[in-house]
Amino acid sequence: MAVAERTRADRPIVKGRMYHIDLAPGEIPPYVLLPGDPARVDRIARSWDSFEVLRQHREYRSARGVYKGAPIAALSTGIGGPSAAIAVEELAEIGVHTLIRVGTTGAIQPWIKPGDVIIASAAVRYDCASSEYAPPEYPAAAAPDAVLALAEATKRLGLRFHVGVVASTATFHLGQSRPGYRGYTWSAAERRIDDLRHMGVLSFEMEAATIYTLASLYGLRAACICAAIANRVTNEFVPDAGVEDAIRAANEAVRILWSLDTLRGGYKREATISDLAAALGKLS
Ligand code: URA
């Protein structure tokens, strides 16, 4: 009879691999794209110059490769904060420092068209998961260098893009002011979309706040680019609009950040405009 392996319960590692993501320290490069959807890992990997799909365990599918000379990886997070938090925890444990979420989002401002891309400079913490890590006053903010790298990449690709605050919710329906089954709703859920629109929030999505909060706590670099596949003002839904563009921009942003780190001998939290300009100069 096979004897089950015993491992620590407070930090489960099985045969040297993180229990959920099924990856080992050093197995992927420290620049990781984070789609929600496992199927998008393969799509992202096919946009690189070379790639290898690595593992699949639950919602976590992984790949690594090279994009225009930059080492790069992708790991799906599944939908929502709880599974995204596990991904960040275990990626941090295996030495990853740069997390770029590549997702989809539902715009709540009238000027954002389906197919535009949104770069989240910060996220409203309606995700629920991040409140298990820090009080509500703690901000969910992106790393400035990663936001600038994404903005530069989208501009160079000629995309329509917006930079600003998004709202990360714990649920797709009530949390984003959509009615539930048989039209169920309640006053706070109904009001949320109008309140956020009034505050200038750009869109709804479901993972950025968790990723940003944990990344800030752990000194990691995180940012997020999402394709606006919906607009809740015009009530349009275009399932794949802008997804390819968001992937292309995320790849280019990783190349910029990798150049920045190479120039400075490794990842550092602090970066200036002149550091980024020098990194861009090395690439062109
Ligand atoms: N993702 C979301 O979380 N909401 C949308 O409306 C579209 C994508």
Query: Each residue of 60-91: pLDDT tens digit?
Result: 999 999 999 999 999 999 999 999 999 999 99
Report how far ligand 1's centroid is from the alpha carbon of 84 (Å).
Answer: 16
Mapped onto helix, strand or coil, the DSSP state of residue 43 is helix
CA distances from 262 to 35, 64, 75, 151, 267 (A): 25, 19, 23, 20, 8
Residue 5: pLDDT over 90 = no
Of all protein residues, whose CA lies closest to atom 1 belonging to ligand 1? 105
142 lines ligand 1 (CB under 6 A): no
Q: What residues are labeled active site?
A: 20, 90, 178, 232
- Extract the tokens encoding 212: 């940003």
243 lines ligand 1 (CB under 6 A): no
Query: Each residue of 86-105: pLDDT tens digit?
Result: 999 999 999 999 999 999 99
pLDDT score of 2? 65
**CATH superfamily, with its number, for domain 26-283:** Nucleoside phosphorylase domain (3.40.50.1580)
Residue 4 binned pLDDT confidence (cut-offs 50, 70, 90): confident
Of all protein residues, whose CA lies closest to atom 6 belonging to ligand 1? 106
- Extract the tokens encoding 91: 């990626």
104 lines ligand 1 (CB under 6 A): yes
Query: Could you tell me the sign of the dihedral formed by the alpha carbons of 206, 204, 99, 255, in that order?
Result: positive
**Chain position carrying tokens 């620049």:** 31
Mean pLDDT score, 202-209? 98
Query: Could you tell me the sign of the dihedral formed by the alpha carbons of 196, 199, 204, 207, in that order?
Result: negative
